[in-house]
Amino acid sequence: MFIPPSWPQTANRLGVQALCLTALVSCGLLPPLGSGRLKKDVQDLHALAPENWAALPSLPEKASTGWLADFNSTQLRVLVDQAITANPDLKAAAARVKQANAETVQAGAAMFPALTTSYTASRSQSPGDQRFAGLTPINNRFRLPFNMSWEIDFWGRVADERGAAKATRLAQEENFHAARLSLAANTVRTAVTLAEAQTLLRLAEQNVQSRRVQLGILEKQMDRGIDPDRAALDVSLARADLARTESTLQQRRASVDQTRRALEVLMGGYPAGKEAGIGTLPSLQRGIPAGLPSELLLRRPDMRAAERRLEASLRRESAAKKAFLPSIRLTGESGRTSQDMDNLLAPDSAMWSIAANGVQTLFQGGRLVAGVKLARGRYEELLETYKGSALTAFQEVETALAADRFLRDQATALTHAATEAKRSEKLALGQYEKGLTDVLTLLDASQRAFDARSSLVSVQAQRLRNRADLHLALGGEF
C-alpha cells in the first residue's frame, strides 16, 4: 500500500497523541477489583500446611532436586530423557502453552488503537432530473484514508481481561511442568515394573529348571522299583507341579512383553516389544528428601497452576463488574480524497476528522448482573477446588512417606524369609534323597522358596515405584 509522503500535521499528531494517551491511561488504570480477597484466600489456604509431616517424625531433609540420581541408574536417565523428548502427550501440553501465549496477545491487543488504511476508487452517474447545470453526469471519487479506532481502557476492564489471559497462560505453563514431572515419574515406574517383570521371569525360569531336576530324581527312584506305588504318586505330583511352574513362566513372559510395549509408547516409539529397559532393579542412594509441608504448595506445579487459575477467575470477575462503567471511544480519519487520480496527492486533497463518544449501559435485561454472578461463582468453585487439591497433595505425600517405611520393613522381613526358605528347600531335598521325608514336603519347600524370592522382588520394586510417587507428590525437579 502506497503511503503519501506529506500527511497533514493534524494526521501526524493524531497517531502521536493516541500513543501518548495510551501510555497515560495504562499508568492510571484501576487495579483489579477483589485483589485483597484473593490474597487473603490464598494465605488462608497456605495456612492449612502443618509444621511437619505426620508420617515423618524426624526433621525432614531439604526438598530434592535432581531426584532421578537417587535411583543410581544411567539407563534410567536415558529412558526418561527419551520420553521427555518424544512423548506426544507432553508435546501436546507444550502446544497448549503456545496457544495460551497467543491468546494473551489477543487479549491485550484491545488496549492499543486499531490503525487501518485502504484505497477506494469509485465511479457513479447522477440521474438526468438531478443534474445541475455545469456539472458532469459522471462522478469519480478516489480515497486513500488512514483510520484509527480506540476504546480507552479508562477503568482497566481490558487490562483485567488481559491479566486473566496472562494468568491462564502461566497456569498452562505450570500444567506443562506438571505433565513433564508426571511423565518422568511414570517412566521411572514403568521401567521399574519392567525390571521387576524381568527379574521375576528369571526366577520363574530357575524354578522350572529346579522342578525338572527334582522330577528327574523322582523318576530315577521310580525306575529302581522301590515302593513303585509311592514313587508313581511322587512322580505324578512332581509333573503336575512342573506344569504349574511352566504356566507361571508363560505368565511372566507375557508380563515382560506387555510392560516393554507400554514403556516404548511412553518414550514416543512404536510398541514393538523390543525395549531392553534397565535390566535389574536399581538401589536407592539416600533417605527421603521431603522438605517442609509449607513449601509444598509453592513447589508443586499443579498447585501453582491452580493459584494462577484462581487469579484469572478473579480478574474476569473484576472485568465483569467494570462493564457497568461507561466506555469512551475515539475514532479518527486522515488521508486524501479527490475526483481525479492525478490530484490525489495534491496538498488541497487532504482531509481529516476526529471524534469521541461515550456509552453508558442502562438496561440489558440483567445480562451484566448475571455475568458478575457467573464470574463470582466460578471463582468460588476454583477456590474450593484449589483447597481440595491442596488436601489431596498433602495426602499423597503423607501416604507415600508412610508407605516407604512399611515397604522398607516388609522388604527386611521378606529378605529373612527368602533366606530361610532357600535353606529349607535345600534341607528338604537332602532329606528326601535319604528317604527321611515325603515328596509333598519337598515340593512345598520349593514353592515356599520361590514365593519368598518373588515377593521380595515385588516389594523392592514397589518401594522404588513409591519413591517415584513421593517425588512426584513433592514436586521436586528430576
User: Residue 168's pLDDT is what?
Assistant: 93
Indicate if the pLDDT at residue 132 is higher than 60.
Answer: no
The residues that bridge with 49 in the sheet, in sequence order, are none
Residue 353 lies in a domain: yes
Pair 107, 194 in one domain: yes
| pLDDT tens readout for residues 296-310 | 888 899 999 999 999
Residue 366 lies in a domain: no
- Other residues' Cβ atoms within 10 Å of the Cβ of residue 147: 16
Q: Which of 23-32, 66-75, 187-196 has the lowest mean pLDDT?
A: 23-32
pLDDT of residue 458: 94
DSSP readout, 146-188? Answer: EEEEEEE-SSSHHHHHHHHHHHHHHHHHHHHHHHHHHHHHHHH
Q: Tell me what pLDDT residue 133 has.
A: 56
CATH code: domain of residue 220: 1.20.1600.10
Does pLDDT of 234 surpass 70? Answer: yes
Confidence band, pLDDT 50/70/90 cuts, at residue 315: very high
**CA distances for 394 relative to 50, 177, 400, 475, angstroms:** 9, 19, 10, 12
Out of 82-91, 120-129, 196-205, least confident range: 120-129
Is the Cβ–Cβ distance between 297 and 393 less than 8 Å?
yes
**Under a CB-based contact definition with an 8 Å cutoff, are residues 263 and 277 in contact?**
yes
Cα distances from 314 to residues 99, 155, 349, 466, in angstroms, run 21, 16, 51, 37
> What does pLDDT average to over the chain?
84
Together in a domain, 464 and 440: yes
pLDDT at 55: 85
Least confident segment among 94-98, 200-204, 325-329: 325-329
Say whether pLDDT at 18 is over 50: no
Report residue 281: phi and psi, to 5°: -70, 130
pLDDT at 268 over 60: yes
State mean pLDDT over 421-448.
82
Q: Which residues neighbour 461 within 8 Å (Cβ) at sequence distance 6 or greater? A: 192, 193, 195, 196, 199, 281
Q: Is residue 5 located within the same domain as residue 59? A: no
Q: What is the percent of the chain with per-residue pLDDT over 70, rounded to a whole number?
A: 89
Contact 340, 142 (CB under 8 A): yes
Nearest in space to 472 (alpha carbons), one of 300, 284, 320, 253? 300
Helix (H, G, I), strand (E, B) or coil at 117: strand
* 96 falls within a domain: yes
Higher pLDDT, 327 or 133: 327
Asked whether residue 465 falls in the same domain as residue 448, the answer is yes
Q: What radius of gyration do the chain's Cα atoms show?
A: 38
Q: What is the CATH number of the domain that holds 350?
A: 2.20.200.10
Q: Are residues 291 and 432 in the same domain?
A: yes
How many CB atoms within 10 Å of residue 141? 13
Q: Could you give the C-alpha distances from 297 to 46, 186, 308, in angstroms and in order?
A: 7, 21, 12
Residues 6+ apart with CB under 8 A from 325: 154, 155, 157
Q: What is the per-residue DSSP string for 14-60?
A: HHHHHHHHHHHHHHTPPPPTTHHHHHHHHHHHHTTS-SS-TT--SPP
| pLDDT at residue 122, rounded to an integer | 81
The residue to which cell 462503567 is assigned: 325
Of the listed ranges 50-59, 373-382, 442-451, the one predicted with least confidence: 50-59
Single out the residue of 38, 118, 259 nearest to residue 267, CA to CA.
259
Tell me: do 317 and 399 sit in the same domain: yes
Split at pLDDT 50, 70, 90, the class of 52 is confident
Q: Is residue 365 part of a domain?
A: no
Q: What is the pTM of this model?
A: 0.81
Note whether residue 295 is domain-resident: yes
Q: Is the pLDDT of residue 189 over 90?
A: yes
**Would you state the pLDDT for residue 34?**
87
pLDDT at 7: 41
Asked whether the CA dihedral 205, 210, 213, 217 is positive or negative, the reply is negative
Kindly state whether residue 297 falls inside one of the protein's structural domains: yes
**pLDDT tier for residue 391 given thresholds of 50, 70 and 90:** very high
- Indicate if the pLDDT at residue 25 is higher than 50: no
* Residues above pLDDT 90, as percent of the chain: 43
59 φ/ψ angles, rounded to the nearest 5 degrees: -65, 120
Alpha carbon distance 318, 30 (integer Å): 10
Q: Three cell numbers at 304?
A: 501453582
Q: Which residue has the cell 525437579?
A: 477
Q: Looking at the structure, tell me whether residues 302 and 199 fall in a common domain.
A: yes
Task: Point out the domain boundary residue: 337, 360, 383.
Answer: 360
Answer whether residue 85 shows pLDDT above 90. Answer: yes
Among 24-38, 153-167, 249-263, 369-383, which is the least confidently predicted range? 24-38
Terminal alpha carbon distance of the chain: 54
Are 128 and 54 in the same domain? Answer: no
Ramachandran angles phi, psi of 229, nearest 5° = -65, -45
194 & 339 share domain: no
Verify that 303 and 233 share a domain, yes or no. Answer: yes
147-152 average pLDDT score:
85
26 falls in which pLDDT band (50, 70, 90)?
A: very low
Structure-model confidence comparison of residues 413 and 292, the more confident one: 413
Provide the pLDDT confidence category of residue 20 given band limits of 50, 70 and 90: very low
The answer, yes or no, to whether residue 103 has pLDDT greater than 80, is yes
Q: What is the DSSP letter of 329?
A: E
Q: Which domain holds residue 448?
A: 32-111+157-324+371-474
Structural domain total, the chain: 2
Calculate the CA dihedral of residues 423, 426, 430, 433 and round it to 10 degrees. 150
Cα–Cα distance, 462 to 389 (Å, whole number): 25
Same domain, 24 and 62: no
Per-residue b/e over 24-60, b at no fewer than 16 CB within 10 Å? Answer: ebeeebeebbbeeebeebbeebeeebeeebebbeeeb
| Other CB atoms within 10 A of residue 369 CB | 12
Q: Tell me the pLDDT band of 226, cut-offs 50, 70 and 90.
A: low
Which of 187, 375, 391 is closest to 303 using CA atoms?
Answer: 391
Q: Could you say which DSSP state residue 298 is in? A: H
Contact between 329 and 359 (Cβ < 8 Å): yes
Whether residues 384 and 402 share a domain: the answer is yes
pLDDT for 374 beyond 60: yes
